[in-house]
């Protein structure tokens, strides 16, 4: 699953640690999300979309055959 | 909740230290000394881990977030799968070609436990790199 986290975070002038604190997760989780290695739960996806004031679909983009275990 | 867990961990370590001292006094010093060294290492690890968690929590971060739980679950499943397959292969090979030897069952159980814990730690680091 692709996402626009890095782009939006940098546009908002936020550090990974600040975004992690706002979403209630660890910085490592934000790093993994930005690299596209980890797929968030619906609750985390919702929290992150709320931080950027946009819908989940605008933040996360599901690609064909993009499912993995993470 | 976290401080209660920490207290319980230290109480268990204190109890184990008591057993270690008792064993050394009773003349079973190889076991007692080994146990005491293990307790010192475990106490150090608990303290270091607790400091790191407190540091993250002070910054408003969540050290027990969903990714950590997800990794722990994958590591547990991965390690038990490798453990079961390895043990099955060792039992099969040992039953066919292995010599008949006497073993101390407690030492054997201790080795099995160490192997399982080692596999879990290795799996956790593997999945931490992967995801």
The predicted pLDDT at position B92 comes to: 95
ipTM of the complex, rounded to two decimals? 0.80
Q: Which residue has the tokens 């069952």?
A: B105
Residue A61 in 3-state DSSP?
A: strand
Which residue numbers of B have CB closer than 8 Å to A's CBs? 56, 59-63, 65-68, 70, 74, 130-131
Of B54, B44, B52, the C-alpha closest to B9 is B44
Is residue A63 predicted with pLDDT exceeding 90?
no
Report yes or no: B16 and B5 within 8 Å, Cβ to Cβ.
no
User: Which tens digits make up the pLDDT trace of B60-102?
Assistant: 888 888 999 999 999 999 999 999 999 999 999 999 998 888 9
Average pLDDT for residues A15-36, to the nearest whole number?
93
Q: What is the pTM of this model?
A: 0.78
The predicted pLDDT at position A40 comes to: 92
Report yes or no: B71 and B124 within 8 Å, Cβ to Cβ.
yes
User: Which tens digits make up the pLDDT trace of A26-41?
Assistant: 999 999 999 999 999 9
B7 φ, ψ (degrees, to nearest 5): -60, -45
Query: To which H or E segment does residue A62 belong?
Result: none
Cross-chain residue pair B67–A21, CB shorter than 8 Å? no
Dihedral sign (CA A36, A39, A44, A46): positive
Which residues in chain A are closer than 8 Å to B70, comparing Cβ atoms? 38, 70
């Amino acid at each position: 699953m692709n996402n626009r986290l890095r782009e939006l975070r940098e546009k908002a002038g936020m550090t990974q640690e600040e975004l992690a604190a706002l979403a209630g997760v660890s910085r490592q989780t934000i790093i993994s999300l930005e690299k596209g290695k980890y797929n968030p739960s619906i609750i985390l996806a919702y929290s992150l979309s709320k931080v950027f004031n946009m819908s989940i679909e605008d933040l996360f983009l599901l690609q064909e055959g993009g499912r993995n275990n993470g | 909740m976290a401080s209660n867990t920490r207290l319980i961990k230290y109480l268990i370590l204190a109890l184990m230290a008591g057993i270690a001292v008792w064993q050394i006094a009773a003349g079973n010093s190889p076991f007692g000394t080994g146990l005491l060294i293990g307790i010192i290492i475990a106490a150090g690890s608990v303290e270091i881990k607790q400091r790191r968690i407190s540091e993250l929590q002070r910054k408003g971060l969540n050290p027990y977030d969903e990714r950590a739980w997800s990794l722990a679950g994958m590591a547990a499943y991965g390690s038990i799968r490798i453990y079961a397959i390895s043990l099955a292969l060792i039992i099969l090979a040992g039953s066919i070609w292995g010599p008949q030897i006497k073993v101390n069952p407690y030492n054997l159980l201790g080795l099995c436990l160490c192997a399982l814990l080692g596999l879990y730690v290795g799996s956790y680091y593997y999945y931490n790199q992967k995801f």
